Amino acid sequence: MLDDFFTRALLAGLGLSLVVGPLGSFVVWRRMAYFGDSTAHAAILGVALALAFDVSIYAGTLAVAVVMACTVSALVSRGQAMDTMLGVLSHSALAFGVVAISFVPGARSDLSGYLFGDILAVGRGDLLLIWTGALLVLGLLCLRWQRLVASSLNEELAMAAGIDPRVERMILALALAVVVALAIRVVGSLLISAMLIVPAAAARGLTRSPEWMAALAAAIAALSVTGGLYASLHVDTPAGPSIVSAAAVAFVLSQALRRG
Amino acid sequence: MSAFATASQPLIGAEGLTVNRPGTSEPVLRDVDFRIDPGEIVTVVGPNGSGKSSLIRALLGHMALAGGKVARRPSLRIGYVPQRVQIDTAIPMTVRRFLSLPRRVPDAAAAAALQRTGVPGLERRQLSQLSGGQFQRVLLARALLCEPHLLVLDEPTQGLDQPGIVAFYRLLEEVRRETGAAVLMVSHDLLVVMRSSDRVICLNGHVCCQGSPEDVSAAPEYRALFGTEGQDMLALYRHRHDHDHDQTGACLPGHGHDHGRDHHNHTPLRVQG
């Protein structure tokens, strides 16, 4: 079954959906959209470094994403003017990444694969990594769920209950870095934050509790992966952008359902 | 709890408390001494940026001290009501779910807490659909779930209209009577503060003055800080039922040096009903 490239692509996308639902919900709740962007864009720089030093793409993107996530969350806790700062970081990381890749011999032709994903080229090894990583992050989120939700709702309330919101913030930043590294082959650096935000935003209007929102976001992400991949197969559209387009359609539908 | 209430040690005591603005060495609070005893209602008033919220945070241990020390009684249970505006309504959340955050509580306890704060049966309502007054009561219900020795409220009536404010403070007094919990709050509602507090602390980077509501409202430091508003409040506080005076306090002298004249004739006003 895993011999079929399409099946592997589908499984990779579904593995990712499992974790982008809950994590994306936190991104929406905490208004971290730009945060996700800058971490994801930094991943391109990680790809360049990985190619230059001949290490795994996953290791390179993970390392750079972790550094970026820590930098950004340090800035957040110091209360800098976040909007501008994140905009600067996010786009600089992307620009430097693309410039750096152009120096790596032979990598220039693969650039669009890193920017928009190359899910149809996912191999068995990728599949194993994606599922392991997704399950680990999901496990971590479940384990700390009450604390994470409490500190997202109000940090002072969380502190009064003995929770250190800085720890929870750091955990989310690291989880984000891991998911960015996992997602780079599936939807690419430019569309990772779309996979985090769009399904969660679609689920937001249809649910009444944080748990249901996270679960529905994961389901919508899974549907988008499936729909996008089939569209890509039959209409011959690029896979990553097709998946995000499907998610966007789901978002529009959810808005209509909410009104109705 | 009764043993807790009779001990002479304060619930929270602080000496020489100094707190810096986060990330700077510029003090927001300098050399503040503080104590709150069991069953007391203490209100902190002061202009914006006077360090009211910093004082609360430092007392709760949410903020690093630049100097001085804070002593909380061992195993002190604190019910905390944050500023309502800071609750993030991007999260879909029912009242029932909110009461179980971060510690899960049984349905019966949740229902009883909502009943006590005058909003029974709201369990299935979304937080984002509550009115300002309901939201405050839900926050208070949540704070009561741990059976606190001390309730700490940071501007609990922000965004409420005047009847809502009065009703909320009446509820607080009721809760104090029923549970014996002490109450520490930050407030802008000078009039109501004067009515329902045992002790008022007037803060402006340091403690300007403190004492009974009457003493504080007569203090020149308080008048300097709150100007005419403070005097109007004082006028209302003392003269609500006195037909010889204008309710706006317009006939009170502008400089406040002969306010002592009224002291002997009036007891603090407690509005009933």
Strands B67-72 and B78-81, by their bridges, are: unpaired
A160 in contact with chain B, both atoms CB, cutoff 8 A: yes
Amino acid at B11: L
**Count of structural domains within chain B:** 1
Q: What are phi and psi of A79, to 5 degrees?
A: 70, 30
3-state SS of chain A: helix, strand, coil percent to 5?
85, 0, 15
Using one digit for the tens of pLDDT, what is the confidence trace for A41-68?
Answer: 989 999 989 988 999 999 999 999 999 8
Is A47 within a domain?
yes
- Measured between CA atoms, the residue of chain B closest to residue A146 is B102
Is B49 within a domain?
yes
Tell whether the model's pLDDT for residue A202 goes beyond 90: yes
Using one digit for the tens of pLDDT, what is the confidence trace for A139-180?
Answer: 999 999 999 999 999 888 899 888 999 899 999 999 999 999
A79 in contact with chain B, both atoms CB, cutoff 8 A: yes
Is B259 within a domain?
no
Judge if the upstream peptide bond of residue B102 is cis by omega within 30 degrees of 0. Answer: yes
Tell whether the model's pLDDT for residue A17 goes beyond 80: yes
* Structure tokens, A214: 């996270």
Which chain B residues are Cβ-neighbours of A149 within 8 angstroms?
91, 101-102
Q: Is B214:B208 a contact under the CB 8 Å cutoff?
A: no
Distance between A160 CA and the closest CA of chain B, angstroms: 7
pLDDT score recorded for residue B227 = 67
Q: Could you tell me the residue range of the domain that residue A63 belongs to?
A: 5-190
Distance between B72 CA and the closest CA of chain A, angstroms: 13
Is B256 within a domain?
no
Distance between A159 CA and the closest CA of chain B, angstroms: 7
Inter-chain CB proximity A156 and B82 less than 8 Å: yes
Q: What is the 3-state secondary structure of A136-171?
A: HHHHHHHHCHHHHHHHHHCHHHHHHCCCCHHHHHHH
Q: How confident is the model at residue A219 (pLDDT cuts 50, 70, 90)?
A: very high
Is A214 within a domain?
no
pLDDT score recorded for residue B9 = 83
Burial A165-186 (b: 16+ CB within 10 A, else e): beebbbbbbbbbbbbbbbbbbb
Is B234 within a domain?
yes
Q: Could you tell me the residue range of the domain that residue B35 belongs to?
A: 9-77+184-239
* Structure tokens, A4: 């079929």
Q: How many CB atoms lie under 10 A from the CB of residue A256? A: 10
Question: Of B15, B32, B71, whose CA–CA distance to B203 is shortest?
Answer: B32
Is B165 within a domain?
no
DSSP H or E stretch at residue B249: none
pLDDT score recorded for residue B24 = 81
Is B95 within a domain?
no
Is A106 within a domain?
yes
A157 in contact with chain B, both atoms CB, cutoff 8 A: yes
A169 in contact with chain B, both atoms CB, cutoff 8 A: no
Is A107 within a domain?
yes
**Count of structural domains within chain A:** 1
Which chain B residues are Cβ-neighbours of A161 within 8 angstroms?
102-103
- Measured between CA atoms, the residue of chain A closest to residue B22 is A78
Q: Strand, helix or coil at B16?
A: strand
* Structure tokens, B40: 């007391």
Inter-chain CB proximity B92 and A154 less than 8 Å: no
Is B269 within a domain?
no
Considering only CB atoms, B87 lies closest to which of A149, A153, A209, namely A153
Q: Strand, helix or coil at A70?
A: helix
- Measured between CA atoms, the residue of chain B closest to residue A166 is B62
- Report the CATH number that the domain containing residue B198 is assigned in CATH: 3.40.50.300
Is B254 within a domain?
no
Top residue of A154, A155, A204 to mutate, by most chain B CBs within 10 Å, is A154
Say how many CA atoms lie within 13 Å of B32 toward its Cβ. 34
Strands B207-211 and B182-186, by their bridges, are: unpaired
Q: How many CB pairs under 8 A join A and B?
A: 71
pLDDT score recorded for residue A80 = 58
pLDDT in tens, chain B (273 residues): 444 545 578 999 999 999 998 778 888 999 999 999 998 999 998 888 888 888 999 999 888 899 999 999 988 999 999 887 667 778 999 999 999 988 899 999 999 999 999 999 999 999 988 988 899 899 999 999 989 999 999 888 887 888 888 888 888 888 899 989 999 999 877 777 777 788 999 888 888 888 888 888 778 888 777 765 555 555 444 444 333 333 443 333 333 333 333 333 333 333 333
- Report the CATH number that the domain containing residue A81 is assigned in CATH: 1.10.3470.10
Inter-chain CB proximity B23 and A147 less than 8 Å: no
Is A257 within a domain?
no
Is A62 within a domain?
yes
Using one digit for the tens of pLDDT, what is the confidence trace for A181-197?
Answer: 999 988 898 899 999 99
Using one digit for the tens of pLDDT, what is the confidence trace for A75-103?
Answer: 776 665 677 888 888 889 899 999 998 88
Give Cβ neighbours of residue A38 (< 8 Å, ≥ 6 apart).
A68, A72, A86, A89, A90, A93
Is A226 within a domain?
no
Mean confidence (pLDDT) of chain A: 90
Q: Strand, helix or coil at B94?
A: strand
Q: What is the 3-state secondary structure of chain A?
A: CCCCHHHHHHHHHHHHHHHHHHHHHHHHHCCCHHHHHHHHHHHHHHHHHHHHHCCCHHHHHHHHHHHHHHHHHHHHHCCCCHHHHHHHHHHHHHHHHHHHHHHCCCCHHHHHHHHHCCHHHCCHHHHHHHHHHHHHHHHHHHHCHHHHHHHHHCHHHHHHCCCCHHHHHHHHHHHHHHHHHHHCCCCCCCCHHHHHHHHHHHHHCCCCCHHHHHHHHHHHHHHHHHHHHHHHHHHCCCHHHHHHHHHHHHHHHHHHHHHC
pLDDT score recorded for residue B35 = 92
Is A46 within a domain?
yes
ipTM of the complex in this document:
0.87
Q: Is B41:B180 a contact under the CB 8 Å cutoff?
A: no
In angstroms, what is the C-alpha Rg of chain A?
18
- Measured between CA atoms, the residue of chain A closest to residue B88 is A153
* Structure tokens, B94: 């029912």
